[in-house]
Structure 1
Amino acid sequence: MQANELRDTDYKEFLAPAKLNLFLHVVNKRADGYHNIQTVFQLINLYDHIYIKTNTSGNICRVSDHSLIQENDDLTIKAAHLLKPFSKNHSGADIFIKKTIPMGAGLGGGSSDAATTLIALNYLWHCQLTQKELQELALKLGADVPFFIFGQNA
C-alpha cells in the first residue's frame, strides 16, 4: 500500500515532526548508568506521515513494511499496545508510516512517531488521557518521547 492510496480511505493522517538538539550538556552520571543532561530541542519542518485507521477486530497491525525495523521493535506498535488498555471502545488500529525523517540521524523520528501514535490513538480510541498522563506513558518508550507529546520547543 502506498501513502497516496491512503488519502481516499478511512485512514486519518497525523504528522510526526523531527527535532534538532541545539545544546547538550552532560551534568553527571547516575547510579543506574544513565546520565542527567541539560538540552535544548527545536522542532523542525520535517515530518513522518502516520496514517491510522481504527478497526473492530481489536488487533494492532502495522500496514507499512519497514524492513529495517522488526514489528516487535517498532515504537509505534509498542505505543499502541501501551495505550490500548485505556481505550473506551476496544478498537484496534491499522498503522501505516511514510518515513521521511532519516533513520538513525538523531532527529527523533522513531520517538516522534511513537508520541504521535499515542496522541492520535488517544483521540481515535476516546481514551481521554491528559497530556501529563500521555507523557508518563511516553517515558516508557524512550527518554525523548515525552518531548514530542509536549509538542513545543524545549
Structure 2
Amino acid sequence: MLSQTLSLPSPAKLNLFLYITGRRENGYHELQTLFQFLEHGDEMQFSANSSGLVTVSPELEGVPLESNLIWKAAQALKERTDCRLGADIHIDKILPMGGGIGGGSSNAATTLVALNHLWELNLSAEELAEIGLKLGADVPVFVQGFAAFAEGVGEQLAKVEPKRSGIWWFVRM
C-alpha cells in the first residue's frame, strides 16, 4: 500500500447563480446556488508514507503550512480516523487563491478523497463531506464531485445536470 502514488485533478467551479438568503451566527451565509465544475484546475499527486508526517510541496507563498487547506484536510482526516500514516503531497497550482472559483476548497476535497483511498480508510463520501465542511463551505461539493444545487451554507446538495450548450464567459470584477 505505501508504495502507491495517486494523481488527481483538483477542478475549479463556478457558481452559476448565488442568492444569499441569510446569515448564521458563526458568520457563514445561508445561500442557494448552482455549482458547476470546470475542466480546468490544479493537478495533485499523493504518495502515502509510514512516517506519520504530511508534507505539501511546493510551499504556497504567504501561506504557512498550518494554514494550508491541503495540510489541514490531511490532519482532519488523520484525527477523525486515528490514522498513523503520512503522505507526501505535491500540487501543480494554477488556480488563483481567492479567485472565487474554489481552488483551496477543491484542493482540500481532493486531499480527503485521495488519502481516504491511499490510507485505505473506507470512509463514505458523506463522511468525507462532513469532515470537509469543517474546513470550508465549498469543500463538500468537491468531495461529492457533481454539479449541484446547494442550500444551507453549501452543504445541502442536490445533484443536477446543467445544460452544456453555448459558450460561457467568466468575468472577475
- TM-score, normalization: structure 2? 0.78
The secondary structure found in structure 2 opposite 1:105 is coil
- The question of whether the paired residues in 2 share the 8 Å contact of 1:64 and 1:96 is answered with yes
**Tell me, which stretches of 5 or more residues in structure 2 are unaligned?**
149-173
Which residue matches 1:130? 124
Which residue matches 1:48? 42
Deviations 1:60-113 (A, max 9, x none): 11131211321111000000001114266x320011111011221101000000
Answering whether residue 139 of structure 2 is matched by residue 150 of structure 1, we say no
Shift of 1:10: 5.9
Deviations 1:24-83 (A, max 9, x none): 111123344432110111100112111111111111111312113211110000000011
Answering whether residue 27 of structure 2 is matched by residue 29 of structure 1, we say no
Which residue matches 1:60? 54
RMSD over aligned Cα, in angstroms? 1.6
Runs ≥4 in structure 1, deviation > 6 angstroms? none
CA–CA distance in structure 2, aligned partners of residues 25 and 122 of structure 1: 33
Q: Given the alignment, which residue of 69, 78, 82 partners 2:76? A: 82
- The question of whether the paired residues in 2 share the 8 Å contact of 1:13 and 1:51 is answered with yes
The secondary structure found in structure 1 opposite 2:55 is strand
- The question of whether the paired residues in 1 share the 8 Å contact of 2:4 and 2:118 is answered with no
Q: 1:33 to 1:71 in 2, by over 3 A?
A: closer
Which residue matches 2:87? 93
The secondary structure found in structure 2 opposite 1:40 is strand
CA–CA distance in structure 2, aligned partners of residues 27 and 152 of structure 1: 23
Which residue matches 2:67? 73
**Tell me, which stretches of 5 or more residues in structure 1 are unaligned?**
1-8
Residue correspondences, number: 145
- TM-score, normalization: structure 1? 0.87
The secondary structure found in structure 2 opposite 1:126 is coil
The sequence identity of aligned pairs, in percent, is 46
